[in-house]
Structure formats: C-alpha cells, structure tokens
Amino acid sequence: MKKKITIAIDGHSSCGKSTMAKALAKRIGYAYIDTGAMYRAVTLYCLEHGMIDGDNVNKPRLRRHMPKIEITFKVGQEGKSETWLNGKNVEKEIRGMEVSNKVSLVSAIGFVRRAMVAQQQAMGKNKGIVMDGRDIGTVVFPDAELKVFITASAQVRAERRFKELQSKGDTTTTLEEVLANVEERDRIDSTRKESPLRRASDALLLDNSNLTIEAQDEWLYQEYLKKVQ
C-alpha cells in the first residue's frame, strides 16, 4: 500500500483549485476538504444574523457566536461533498454572489481564521487528505508533502466563474461584475494582515490559464506519484 500524505492546494479565487483537488482526491481515494466553503458558511451565518453592515462585520457579536457555528461536510446524492451549516445544507447558498461579495471581509478576521484552521488541522491529522484554500501550505499544513500553488489570469478566472453561475441558473450577474469581484477578492486576500495569500517557498507553481482540466489533473496525479513512490 502506498504511504498516505497530505496534499495542500492554494491559489487565487476561481482558478479551478477545487475541481483539481476533488478529481485527485477521488482518483487516489483521499478525503477532500474545501476550506473556502468553511469561510463561506461563516459568512452566510453572519448575513443570516444581521452581523454585516456594508463593509463592516460586527466582530464582538460574531466572536460570541463562533462556538455556535458548526460546519460539516456530507456526501450528497450525486456523490459530491456538500457543506452543512448547523444542520442545514447550504451548498447552493454559499456559492451565490451575496456570500461571495462579503466572504473576504469575514475570512480576514483573526479569530475566525484560528477557529477554521484548528478544525482543518483536526480533519487532516491522519493524512490521506487533499485540502484546498489560501493558506493550506503556509499555515494549516506547513509540513504537507505535496504543495501546489495555482493561478490563472483574472479574465480567465472570471469567465470560468461566470459560466459556472450561468449553468446554475443565475441570469442576472454580468461578466463585468464577476471580474470586479475576482479582482477585489484577489486584492483583499493578498493584502490582508492575517495569513495573506502567498505561495509557500516549497510549493509547485501552476498557471493553468491555457491548460485543459484533463491536462492539469494528469499533471497533479504525476506529482502525487512522485511523492509516494
């Protein structure tokens, strides 16, 4: 049997990290954890409880509520992992523009990050996991055996996200709005004080602007094999 390792996949928003991470996890029988979904679920909780006013998050209230926020993943009917927040399936809601527009504010808060990182480390303590996010190779699992940092141009990422929204029935959001959201999130994610998005010095860099999904999946699989053989 091959040894189990930890695989950390970080990168900019909407660059196909989760597609790639999920495909690898399925192929090699590892658990997959989408850490962005966890920050999105906290953001949804804040919105549902009136804790966000414009660009302002009511931090004292959120801090008091943190112990009440329970995020889990369950495999849904189509065999896909879905995000649950306090006993409710929120997979669809956390992908909408309302959450996307506020998630960078919530994920920049130190006590939110510390709570999420602790849960992520617990989920990965037995290895055999593919985790994607922004700080997995730098903060959550600095000792991960395989680290990848993915990027693609903002335009390419916005087009991909736009198509995804359309395929989910969103006919009101424009490509320009999606591009603005992608660029704004890049800016906030890379300049925030708490765990800014950056490539770990030992992470492999992949720009997938011109790669097919099949080509990037195969590349990642070969990198995985190098680590376990």
Binding residues for ligand DC, per CB under 6 A?
13, 35-36, 39-40, 103-104, 107, 133-135, 185, 189
Question: Helices 97-107 & 110-123, crossing angle to 10 degrees?
Answer: 100
Contacts of 25 (CB under 8 A, 6+ apart): 31, 32, 129, 130
**Rounded CA gap, 179 and 152, in Å?**
13
**Rounded CA gap, 180 and 18, in Å?**
21
CA distances from 52 to 3, 43, 59, 71, 99 (A): 45, 9, 9, 19, 11
Contacts of 116 (CB under 8 A, 6+ apart): 35, 38, 39, 42
Type of residue at 111: F
Q: Is 211 left (phi over 0), alpha (psi -120 to 50) or beta?
A: beta
